[in-house]
Amino acid sequence: MQPDLRFTDPDDFEKYVARKCIDLGYEVIMPNKNTPGYDIEIVKGKERIAVQVKCHKAKQNIGQYKKFVAFLELPVASNFTGGWFISQSGYSKNVLSLAEADREPNLKLGTIKERGITWNYDPDSAPGENIEDQIEDVVEEKDNNVKYFGIFTCKGGVGKTTVAAHLAGAFAIMGYDVILLDLDPDRNLRKLFLQDQDSDEDASLYIPPNKKGFLGSTITVLNADEWDERQYPDVKVVICDCSPVLSENPKNLIRKFDYCVIPTTLNPLGIAKNGDVITRTFKHIRNENNKAEMFCLINSYSGSQAYEERNKHLLALVEKPIREYQKQDSKCQLIHPDYVKIRESRALRYWGYHLVDGSPPQLAFKSVANRSAPRTDFMQLAEYLEDHTSITATKGL
């Protein structure tokens, strides 16, 4: 058994991989920093290989695998004869099973060991011969210009997990790789993204690009103890699906929130019984974090004309305590449903049905008659947040 390596800095890991490639007789060419799709170019004879390097604590997942495969199929990768995906932490069972099924002829998956690269998938091996290794790593954290979104409310049943997942999907469509941190003890978010319900190791999605010739994005679901900014240098958006009990959420993450989205519904009983639930949520967050900007979002909105007057009246009951609270805290606001609202829809109501019928995980963005109300609504939410926050500054990093 070869000794495990423990790297804390992705740059150090990348340099180590480059040295191992030199040991294998390749010339190493380092592209410009943040070149999309790959980290190292290696050349030997007629071989020209794009090498992607991942220094993560968690195993590499389906979303990351599919994104690299998609890159190798783009015109910009046409000069490469193959691709190596090199990991410090190994690969989920689902990645290796998919790689074995796809038998991509120009792709290798490897894990770095002290003596060199151990191939987890090699197309030159007979089916079933590829092996899986896991390396656990403990790393320290550093600031990486990551923007943290907390999806939080002191009241359950308002669609917090659905909002967190689909906001991640909207940001992924816009070109961001997104980490979803599942902080709720029920771990529903992780369940909904699992590639294999019999295994807890791969909760992810690959979101294809909107335009041909572009690279898609990934959504990766992690537990709090699996997340470290240093291991995901390309990720600029982290969305936390929080427990409704504030004390159950890690304080170090609550304090990192740059923005909070507080979903609520125009439910008569809820508004009458918990009229201050939104302002109480504002206060709970503010007790731990004095910088976060907070946005109240109307979820499960019924746009029927028959309910127009009722919605107007209920919305006024929601707006009143928020306006009062804004006098002492200007960083809190209601996103008026005239600008953004998440409409009530069957697609969102039945999201997660794949857990029942055994199909792969997916978001409720499927088009019906070339339209998807959830996709439109969450894209509007993501664009609103881009316009009202500094998240777009991360795109150039």
Inform me whether the pLDDT recorded for 397 exceeds 60: no
Closest to 138 in 3D by CA, of 202, 247, 249, 225: 225
**Helices H, strands E: what count in the chain?**
12, 14
Tokens (6 digits) for 87: 């990991």
Q: What percent of the chain has pLDDT over 70?
A: 90
Cα–Cα dist 115/397, whole Å? 34
For the stretch 248-260, pLDDT in tens is 999 999 999 999 9
Residue 46: is its pLDDT beyond 90?
A: yes
Specify the pLDDT at position 1.
40
Give me the pLDDT at residue 133, please: 37
What is the mean predicted confidence (pLDDT) over 106-115? 88
pLDDT (average), residues 111-140: 63
Dihedral sign for Cα atoms in the order 77, 80, 83, 86? negative
Average pLDDT, rounded, for the chain: 86
pTM of the predicted model as reported, rounded to 2 decimal places? 0.78
**Which of the residue ranges 92-106, 124-138, 371-385 has the most confident prediction, judged by mean pLDDT?**
371-385
Domains detected in the chain: 10-121 (3.40.1350.10), 147-396 (3.40.50.300)
Tokens at 204, concatenated: 């992810």
